[in-house]
Structure formats: C-alpha cells, structure tokens
Chain A
Amino acid sequence: MDKIEHLRKEIAQREAELADLRARLAAEEKLSCAESEKKLDDEEWKWPLEEHDYQRYSRQMIVPNFGLQGQLHVKHAKVLLVGAGGLGCPAAAYLAGAGVGTLGLVDGDAVEVSNLHRQVAHATSRVGMMKVDSAVAYLKGLNPTITYNAHATHLTPQNAEEIVSQYDLVLDCTDHPTSRYLISDICVLLSKPLVSASAFQTSGQLIVLNNPPGKGPCYRCVFPKPPPPESVVGCGEGGIIGPVVGTMGVLQALEAIKLIVKGDHLKNGLINGDVEEVKQVGLLLFSAMGDVPFRTVRMRGKRKECFACSGDGTALTLNELKTSMDYVQFCGVNQPVKLLQPEERISVAEYERISQEHRSHLLLDVREKEHFGVCNIKGSINVPISRFTAHRGQGSDLTDLIPADVAPDSPIYIVCRVGNDSQIAAKKLKDLGVDRNGERFVGDILGGLKAWKETVDPSLPFI
C-alpha cells in the first residue's frame, strides 16, 4: 500500500512539474511569436495565406487542381459535423488537418470505453467527458490554428436552424434514422449541401445530397420511407468494425474537401437560371467482406413529390419543421414484443431453480452466435433467431431448431438478450405444434440475459 501511495505522490509531483514546464513553454512561444509577427509586420507580409499556413498545408496545396485557391476556400469554409462518433472523429480529424477555417461539432453524448475502438479522437483518459469537448481537445492538438465550436447537445427540430445556419456545409455522422431525416430536412430548408455517411457491422454507405442546394436529391428522395423500427439495430447491439466506419468517415471528409475546393458550398442555391447542371449522383456502397468491396450505384435526381425538397407549395417549411415535425413518430418507436401470455413466461429466478434441481429440460439461447460465444448460461444451446424466422411452416423438419436427442416431453425454455426475440422463437415453436397443444411447456425467460446478469450472475461480461 505504501508503495502505491508513494508512486501516486511521485506521479502527481511529476505532473505538476510538467504542467509548469508546459506553461513556461507556452509563454515563451507566445513571446517569440509576437516578436516574429512584429518583425513581419515591419516587413509587411505580402502573401494571401499566413506564413504558418504555407508550412502546414503545402503538401495538399501543390496537388494538381487544389492550389492556393483551393486552400483559400478551405480556410474560409465553415463545416458542421453532426455526431462526434465513429464517422465524426475521423472526418473531423481530416477536415481540421486540412485547415477548414471553422469546424462545428454537435453531439449530446459522453465518451464511453466501448467507443474507443473506433472513435479515434477520444481517449481513455477522457471517458465520461462530453464527446464534443473530447474531440475538440484532440483536434486542437492536431491543428490549433483553426476555430472550433462545440455544441454539446443533440440536434433537435428546435435547435437545428440556429446551429446549422452558422455553417455552409454539413456532414451527417449520426447513428439513427430520426436524425438522418431531420438533418436532411434542415439542410434543404437552409440550402446547405449535405455529405451523408453511415456504417454498420461490415457495411457502409456514402452520398452527397442537396448539391447544389435546391437541385440535388435529398435523403427523403433516396429513402422516402424509414425502415421499420424493429429492424433498426444500433452499433451497440449489432456491432461495428472500427476501420469500416473509419473508412466511411474518411471518405466523407474527402467528399467535403472536394466540394469546398470547387467552391460548391458557396453557391448556396443562388445561381441564376438553370446553368448549373446537377451531376450524376452516386450512392457508394462499401461491403468490407465482399469480393467487390466498393460499388457506386447511379441515383435518380430529386423526387417530384418529395415532402421536403419538391419546392412546390406543399413542401415542408422552416416553421413547420420547428413546431410540428415529430421525427420519432415518423420513424416509429420500437414497441416491446408482446406475443406470450404471462403463464408462458418464467422469471430468471425460476429458471435458476429449475437448473439447480437438475430437472430435465432444454434451454435455447436465440441470440446470434457471436453474442452467445461471448457469454451464455451453462447448459444452454445456441439456435439464432434467424433460424426460427426463416423456418418453413408446419410439417417440416424441426431438427435445425431442436436437437434430436431431447426427450419429446422435456419442457423448452427460450432465452435471448432482453426478452423480445425469445417470445418470437417460442411462438414459432408453438405454431409448429412443438408444445403438443399445451402438453409440453414451451415458453421464454422474462428479461433475458440482461435480467440474468442483474439478478443471478452479475459477472456476465456483456449482454
């Protein structure tokens, strides 16, 4: 113990010394900077970018068609990233590195340890800090010469106009259909081009929307109908490979830089006449595990009847967005499954008793095999839910669902993560006649592995 205490004290002392050194260095740097600026002032700096800009950005400025003009566009650009997670971290890093003059970040979440495998701007030492503050801390280390705005809030219909109107280009780096429709709508209404990317498991999508503003299709033109809420699975539950979402975020930054260098973000829908042609819009699909990892499909232009961007009298207005749009309702709320009656469900405590008494039974765990592989209840057998949903009706072979060596009168208990899929599986078995009209018990465990962790085995490493 003494040794630990001693080490702690020593670390604290060294840290204090370091902080002192850093403060002295900053003061010296400021002094020398002021002196050199004074010297330069005396000589009158005659170049359009500042001296340190030429040092920092020369490698990209000499790339064909980028040039000084490109860098000036980048320097004066104001870019908003909505979401400082798996997409936002790499996108922000490259945009900050490239010298985007003003970078805004919107996110209402705090950093968690489970973010760090992919959200590369955060750090173990900043777990618990707001993501926007953690990201800005990282970005300032990368490039302290540009302006950062941290908006530590979720984007809502109420604050969207006030925040988005401060920028001239938006990157959608969020993780849910509700925010995707909101961001698209506000970009249409405020005439901002939108670079939209997404990633899940080993797949990604990327598309540039509302470009030029008022001319290119919006998110609703591409996906007019949101996916049903029960099919929307987040990265927390379905998983994500770091470099997959990283790839999409980096590509997003690239699309933003392409747009800015060409000056497209300044056109703002104010072009006279129809001279401005809308280029072919492509949706990039990334399938990390596929033989062809990248494909681009050609999209149509705007949808004539689009609710947001059709431009006719019936289209959405800023006031409607603020006062009457309910994006949660539009995308639907995931209702808990209610397929089984109370007598068809047992509690985790009841199941614990059954297993301790060594009564003959079958416990099926219907989570995906990767979840099962991480942790499971002793004696359970893994049959993923997809095998139940794909199973062809009555009269067909059941051995892919129930092991052949199970006694035909053994009760069957089904468990999943939180108690939704287990009901679907139990219902399917009953529909297939496995319960023999109630002679054999077929039911599920209420609350699933989550409840098991809470009341029986707190050591379960993950659910």
Chain B
Amino acid sequence: MTSSAPKPQRGHFNLLYFASAGSFTGKDQESLPAPVPIGKLFSELESRYPGIQAKILDSCLVTVNLDYVDIPTQGEEGAVIQEGDEVAIIPPVSSG
C-alpha cells in the first residue's frame, strides 16, 4: 500500500486495493481518470475485473482521502472522486 507511490498524473486519482481486493485484482494500487462518481467507478471496475462487484465491492468499505464514504445504492452515482484523491477499497479481513 503506497501513499508514497507516485502522485497520480494530472486528471487522475490513486485507487488502493487492500487485502482480498489486492489479490483479486493482482494489484496494490493503480491510477485512474478523475473526476468520476463512485457509482461509475464501480461499474468501470466490474468491466476491468469481471466478478469484483459481487466478490469484493458489495461487502467492502470505501474511503476517500482516509474518510469513510457511503456506497451509492443501485442507480445512484454517489460522491464524486476528484483529481489527486486517494481512494481505498477495504474488504473485511475475517481470519485470525
């Protein structure tokens, strides 16, 4: 997980994948175009990583710049992610 990762390029934001989100996508983080509403980001992720919606996104929590944000319900767009933001996909870890 890298906030010391390179700053996102202009017009982009950094998306961090924690725990099982990281193993599902095979990535710790990536840079994606901004601005984008969270609802749209989720459908974009589903087309990049088929199955991620049901397996990860439906049960994860999402933060923008370390603050919890509500996940929009079906059909809504939700908060808009801005250029330079750091967004985290945080699925629950259950083991111990």
Contacts and interface: CB of A to CB of B under 8 A. Distances in A.
Q: Do A and B bind?
A: yes
B20 A231 contact: yes
B4 A291 contact: yes
B61 A238 contact: no
Contacts of A265: none
Contacts of B23: 201, 386
Contact of A300 (B51, B68, B91, B96): B68
B90 A389 contact: no
A404 interface: no
Interface residues of B, number: 34
A232 B92 CA distance: 10
A292 B4 contact: yes
Given A225-B59, A290-B28, A291-B1, A199 B54 contact: no
A455 to B, nearest CB: 31
Contact of A297 (B50, B51, B54, B67): B67
Contacts, number: 119
Interface residues of A, number: 51
B96 A177 contact: no
Contact of B88 (A85, A87, A175, A297): A297
A234 interface: yes
Contact of A227 (B3, B49, B94, B96): B94
Point out which of B5, B66, B67 has the most chain A C-beta atoms below 10 A from its C-beta. B66
13 contacts: A180-B92, A200-B20, A203-B22, A203-B93, A223-B59, A223-B61, A225-B58, A228-B58, A232-B94, A234-B95, A235-B95, A283-B61, A389-B50
Across chains A and B, which 6 residue pairs bring their CB atoms closest together, nearest first?
A290-B1, A287-B1, A87-B96, A198-B93, A200-B95, A291-B2
Interface of B: 1-5, 18-20, 22-24, 26, 28, 49-51, 54-56, 58-59, 61, 63, 66-68, 88, 90-96
